[in-house]
């Protein structure tokens, strides 16, 4: 549903909306986020205020990964900070790995859908958690269409697990 927010009748007259996950603790004035729309540069449609925390196996606790975390450092693409060539499944690598065509398919689809190759190192990792969406810019950029194209690509190529929202998180 979140990918169709600009087209929900109740929101159709709004120019922006704040999306909040149900597990957040708000520690500041939400008005500041609402007013952040005026600071968005052209071609940008969201302000994500949720920090990225990841489970640390070594510490058995959540660890702050910083505001500058990228998809290359995340588990979302099975890269987890490794060079792409170290992510392929093999006799000694059966978890946190990808098939031999994964990166080729992902790049091909990124060019088809986004008009550019995927660059995990420069793609910021983000979380829907607390996000201001500029609904006018969302429509102008046709992001729902983009999401639907990624859904079709995933159905055809099985790039991500069927339960994943990965292709909806900015890929």
Section 149-166 average pLDDT: 80
Indicate whether 8 pLDDT > 90: yes
Most confident of 32-36, 133-137, 162-166: 133-137
**118: how many CB neighbours lie within 10 A of its CB?**
19
DSSP 52: P
Section 53-60 average pLDDT: 72
The closest of 70, 50, 17, 90 to 8, measured between CA atoms, is 17
pLDDT at 54: 64
**55 touches 62 (CB < 8 A):** yes
Torsion of CA 83, 87, 90, 94, to 10 degrees: 140
**63 touches 157 (CB < 8 A):** no
Section 112-127 average pLDDT: 84
pTM of the predicted structure, to 2 decimals? 0.76
Q: Give Rg (Cα) of the chain.
A: 17
């Amino acid at each position: 549903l979140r990918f169709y927010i600009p087209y929900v009748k109740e929101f159709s007259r709004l120019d922006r909306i704040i999306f909040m996950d149900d597990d957040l603790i708000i520690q500041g004035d939400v008005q500041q986020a609402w007013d952040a729309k005026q600071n968005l540069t052209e071609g940008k449609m969201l302000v994500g205020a949720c920090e990225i925390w990841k489970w640390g196996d070594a510490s058995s606790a959540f660890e702050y990964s910083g505001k500058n975390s990228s998809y290359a450092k995340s588990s979302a693409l099975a890269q987890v900070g490794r060079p792409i060539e170290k992510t392929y499944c093999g006799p000694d690598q059966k978890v946190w790995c990808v098939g031999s065509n994964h990166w080729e398919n992902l790049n091909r689809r990124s060019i088809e859908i986004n008009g550019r190759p995927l660059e995990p190192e420069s793609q910021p990792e983000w979380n829907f958690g607390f996000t201001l969406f500029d609904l006018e810019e969302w429509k102008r950029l046709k992001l729902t269409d983009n999401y639907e194209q990624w859904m079709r690509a995933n159905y055809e190529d099985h790039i991500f697990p069927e339960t994943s929202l990965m292709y909806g998180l900015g890929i």
